[in-house]
Amino acid sequence: MKEYMQRMGRSLMLPVATLPVAGLLMGIGYMIDPNGWGGDNLIAAYLLKAGGTILDNLGILFAVGLAIGMPKKKDGASAMAGLVAFLTPLSLINTNSVAMFTKVAPEKVDVAFSYINNKNVFVGILAGLVAAALYDRFCEVKLPMALSFFSGKRLVPIVTVLSMSIISLGLLFIWPTIYNALTAFGKSIISLGAVGAGLFGFANRMLIPTGLHHALNNVFWFDLAGINDIGNFWSSTGTKGQTGMYMAGFFPIMMFGLPAGAYAIYKNSRPEKKAATGSLMMAAAVASFFTGVTEPLEFSFMFVAWPLYVVHAVLTGISMFISAFFHWTAGFNFSAGLVDFVLSLRVPIANKPYMLILQGLVFAVIYYVVFTFMIKKFNLLTPGREEGVGEETPDVDDPAEDKFVAMARKIYTALGGKENVDTIDNCTTRLRLQVKDTNNVDQAKIKATGVPGLKVIDGTNIQVIVGTEVQFVADAMNRIHSGAPAVVAAPVEKIEEVVVTGPVERDIYAVADGKLVSITEVSDDVFSQKMMGDGYAVLPTKGEIFTPISGTITNIFPTKHAMGILTDTGIEVLLHMGLDTVSLKGEPFELFVEEGQKVSRGQLIAKVDLEAIKKAGRKTDMIVVFTNADKVEKLTVKTGNVQANDVAGNVLNK
């Protein structure tokens, strides 16, 4: 779940990056013409409309942004699915559509449906997540020949429309209930005075991710329940010190608290990401301070560091309580930024508004201290603190330098060099490294080299997953570490790959007698998280090991526990016998093949002493990984002459 939320937060950075400029454009337009909202000034009207292009279509932007960023395989076609997913409920459950379905006049339709519009962030997020999930599931599905035109990526929008139609049907009944419940909640806290203002401030922030904060706002800001805080403030009617109490507490947060939080996020970002983080935080903080547009800041950490957002909501509630308790009031038409604050000073009913500045300065300190403490204490992945996610620009390599040497040099430097690296070892697919302190390792730079992943074991041990050619990287690193020239022998000549123009060999054999399990069940996250590729595993009951597929043995690891196989159709297969068995120095393994040998599917290639592995405290999982799984269409595990129990077909769904 944590990883999913982090991916979600990163995906939202694309639409969020457009929000600061939109807020500034609208803020400047409103500052030019605060009363006419563009009706009295052409330039103001133009700026307001330009900014509204973004802010009035947040739902669409979030739907498309998530649909692009969330899928495992990035493709622009997923954006189309996201747009379709958003437009479906927008068409099915808006006010006019509901009026047609229920055969009542549009003005009698529940007001909740008027909020199913382009601004609806909740629908946008829901649509984006649904579209991304469906893209991952159906982008490679092949339909029968008669329907083949609709296969793959073309199928995704079709399935998306059907899915979102069903979801929209559910929203048709659920949405009004949620909306009306929030309205009732708002009315129930009116009599609580300053405490009620605090509860409103907290609930207002917590509801922003859903877009339903508008329902709550209507109770306090407009004449839905007789409060009409905005209207009464600007007409200077009501009670001095009370009118405006449901707006005033937002000024210290939006003008001072959130910008201070943005500075804390910047200060705690990684050194190599400070420039990018600083530009985003600066733009977002300026928008929040001047115009009160907080979405760029809030959505930047709302999902990747949700505990921090909850604290932000609590602090907002406290600010609302304090200003209401001391009867410090100011108001806004647009939002609680500097522009509205200055304009509200000339309204007679405003009460001690300058005290809100003092309150804001105090909250700026609180935000900076609390944000910094939480980010460090709980290692929250706020913008700039996330590990490399494929967005870094890799260093320019020396074209004359061997690729393994280049990778080894970068990884060695990121590990901290000679001052931090103690020993360098490797197994079949990963570097096994002992360092003085893993906190001194720059994980982002290691990932930027293009390795599939890394794994911090403890304070002094770290593993870097490289692939089946890890030995050449390890050799180069050892030479660098010893001070010798970083020259490695040329790798074993590879068999020329055959371009797959037709169906690949689909059937493979289980490698041993036993229970066949998904690779996600292997108790090593390098395999279970598919860092090396997709595949399967067998929990063996006998020590006889068979080839899963026909091909050529391309390499055998010196400790005999792993080997690579290349098929005639270009599929690369890694057979890994046991977990952490590299330390057993090959003793439990007897091999019947050698490098360069042709093997047939189901051929006996090894015998393994399973009891010896278990006595050594290791696991006996026999793992088969397809390291270039993008070439594999769909494989079905066959038992053949291997009588594996619980054989599950279609282990790979490629």
**Residues identified as active-site:** 427
Cross-sheet strand order for the sheet of 604-608 = 544-546, 604-608, 589-591
CB 587 within 8 A of CB 561: no
CA nearest neighbour of 63 among 174, 170, 208, 164: 164
* CA nearest neighbour of 544 among 610, 597, 600: 610
**How many H-runs (helices) and E-runs (strands) does the chain carry?**
23, 16
Euclidean distance between CA atoms 156 and 76, whole angstroms: 12
SS (H, E, C) 370-428: HHHHHHHHCCCCCCCCCCCCCCCCCCCCCCCCCHHHHHHHHHHHHCCHHHCEEEEEECC
Ramachandran sector of residue 530 (left: φ over 0; alpha: ψ -120 to 50; beta: rest): left
Contact status, residue 608 vs residue 539, Cβ threshold 8 Å: no
Q: Dihedral (C-alpha) 11, 4, 2, 379: value to the nearest 10 degrees?
A: -20
- What is the b/e burial string over 394-426, where b = at least 16 CB atoms within 10 angstroms of the residue's CB? eeeeeeeebbbbbbbbbbbebbbeeebbeebeb
Two structure tokens written together for 122 = 């909740």
First to last CA, the chain: 24
What is the Cα–Cα distance from 351 to 243, expressed in whole angstroms?
Answer: 9
